[in-house]
Structure 1
Amino acid sequence: MKLTLGFSPCPNDTFIFDALIHHKINTEGLEFDVEYHDVETLNHKALRGELDITKLSYHAFAYAIEQYELLDSGSALGFGVGPLLITKEESLAKDLALYAGKDLPDKYKKLKVGVPGKYTTANFLLGLAYPELQNKVELVFSEIEASLLDGTIDVGLIIHENRFTYQNKGLYKIHDLGDFWEKATNSPIPLGGIVIKRSLPQEIKDIVNRLIHESVEFAFANPKSGIDYIRSHAQEMEEDVMYKHIELYVNQHSSDLGPLGRKAIQSMFDKARDLGLIPETEKNIFLKEKK
């Protein structure tokens, strides 16, 4: 059986899926037709129900939950992995840092904010910390730093490897929105998960869930096994940055969500519903327990 599978070309995803798609583990007769896209493109594909299995932001999952349920493996959750709000003006960075979770002065409410997509978890966290920053421009995540430098936007929300490079470009951190979430909830940040279509047979869903777990465990045991594959999709990233990226986003929650990971995800959904940021649903979030 062949299934469509979508994930990003970022090192954390290619690290996780290398063993699965290159048959370094027994895939039990399943084959995967892989598509690589940035996270917001994957989000929109999920909203349209285009892929059997896909990476997506947890924020987007709330809008795609009627068609998909969350697998136990493959997620990006953790402490210290959140998006950063940055700017090129040091004085603006210092001023705005004082207002996370507080009312903004009127002079800041019209600032133009570059976000990596409406449905990203990064944008959701921005809404929690700075709800009055509503003048948003949607950009591909890799374009946000350049847009700050050329003055197209005033502040930008960065994710992925840009966490490691923004200071080298003369940009300044306003606030770590992951830190804001962690202090408010004492939970890891649910960034992205792997979901599977509800309409697939339960046996197939259980097999895929198990295979992704095995793929992650293979990668942990053989971290250099997929180096050429990971590098080929890493957009000229230096190897040390590439592995920092993997270490940041791939952890025990990627192998199995566990009780803490599930609690963090449920907390995010509950908080978002309380604030009216996501629709109500009667669907379960997580893959049904294996029999």
Structure 2
Amino acid sequence: MNIAYSPCPNDTFVFHALVHGLIPNTPKFHVTYADIDQTNYWAANREGPEIMKVSYAALPWVLDDYRLLPCGGALGRGCGPLVLQKEKEGRPEDVTGKVVAVPSDRSTAYLLFRLWVAKHVPDGVGEIRIMPFHEIMPAVEKGEVDAGLVIHEARFTYPEYGLHLIEDLGEWWEKDTGHPIPLGAIIARRDLHHEEIAKWIRASVEYAWKHPEASRDYVMEHAQEMSPNVAQSHIELYVNEYTANLGEEGYKAIEVLLGRAKDEGIVPHFDLEKLR
């Protein structure tokens, strides 16, 4: 069976036991390591492996062909994207009519940004420009764009570029809804046995928690020059109770995010019932 997920520590930690034959009565897995932006489009184009990690924001494009699994993914708190600018600590109206760089147009970060703009920037931004996430802060610093939407480790490094916070979208989302942020989802083709696959993945998560040392070499092999401490922090941030089981709270967070995005016309119309 074929599976695709990122080389990030949270994914390699979660799937180590499954793809190394440590979960009984499972098939042999062939792994493709791919960034989530790549898997988002594979799924939308009916390409790629039978099982994939994609952004929750991509689900409206793929639910006719893939089913959301209730485990293996990532929802979190305190890990949201930031809106930054160069001049000063900002306010929402600072992006009115401005050029804002974003790392993707099919990501949770993008959905949160668009929902925040719809609620707090009534006259809208001037232009949304997509660029690789590692190029966004330098572009804001150089004045090539007015503001930037940043993710990942940029939460901690943006002061090095002389940038200032306009909004922490994760903090805004949690205050506005009370829900965690839906980040990465695990999907499987609809013609597969989903309950069995979910059982395997949940067993892999539980194995990882019970034997954290077992996956250490595998995690660090793919950790893209992270130190062990940074890799461990990454795991602790993104592998949590929702990874083992979305539960009612997890599903509700997803439904609120995608329901709002559908109502704003940010994603195509889809049947919310297909999320469960």
Give the alignment's TM-score, normalised by structure 1. 0.85
Matched-pair contact (CA < 8 Å) for 1:161–1:241: no
Matched ranges for 1:25-36 at <5 A: 25-26=23-24, 28-36=25-33
Would the alpha carbon gap of residues 62 and 122 (structure 1) be closer, same or farther in structure 2, given more than 3 Å must change?
same
Pick one of 192, 213, 230 that aligns with 1:241.
Answer: 230
What is the CA distance between 1:113 and its match in structure 2?
Answer: 2.0
What is the CA distance between 1:281 and its match in structure 2?
Answer: 2.6
What is the CA distance between 1:283 and its match in structure 2?
Answer: 6.7
Matched-pair contact (CA < 8 Å) for 1:52–1:196: yes
Report what 1:118 is aligned to. Answer: 105
Pick one of 113, 127, 136 that aligns with 1:135.
Answer: 127
Q: For each residue in 1:120-161, what CA deviation from the matched residue of structure 2 results, as whole angstroms up to 9, or x when unmatched?
A: 010000001124235222223333334334443332222223
Report what 1:57 is aligned to. Answer: 55
Identity score, percent: 40
What is the CA distance between 1:39 and its match in structure 2?
Answer: 1.6
Report what 2:67 is aligned to. Answer: 69
What is the CA distance between 1:177 and its match in structure 2?
Answer: 0.5
How big is the alpha-carbon RMSD for the aligned residues of Structure 1 and Structure 2?
A: 2.0
Matched-pair contact (CA < 8 Å) for 1:11–1:233: yes
| 148-157 vs 243-252, which moves further | 148-157
Would the alpha carbon gap of residues 150 and 6 (structure 1) be closer, same or farther in structure 2, given more than 3 Å must change?
farther
Pick one of 194, 209, 212 that aligns with 1:220.
Answer: 209
Pick one of 45, 48, 52 that aligns with 2:45.
Answer: 48
- Structure 1: runs of 5 or more not aligned: none
Report what 2:6 is aligned to. Answer: 8
Would the alpha carbon gap of residues 140 and 114 (structure 1) be closer, same or farther in structure 2, given more than 3 Å must change?
same
Matched-pair contact (CA < 8 Å) for 2:16–2:215: yes
- Structure 2: runs of 5 or more not aligned: 119-123
Would the alpha carbon gap of residues 16 and 283 (structure 1) be closer, same or farther in structure 2, given more than 3 Å must change?
same
Matched-pair contact (CA < 8 Å) for 1:114–1:156: yes
Matched-pair contact (CA < 8 Å) for 1:66–1:283: no
What is the CA distance between 1:43 and its match in structure 2?
Answer: 0.8
Give the alignment's TM-score, normalised by structure 2. 0.89
Pick one of 204, 208, 223 that aligns with 2:197.
Answer: 208
Report what 1:79 is aligned to. Answer: 77
Matched ranges for 1:267-278 at <5 A: 267-278=256-267
Whether 1:255 and 2:247 are equivalent positions in the alignment is no
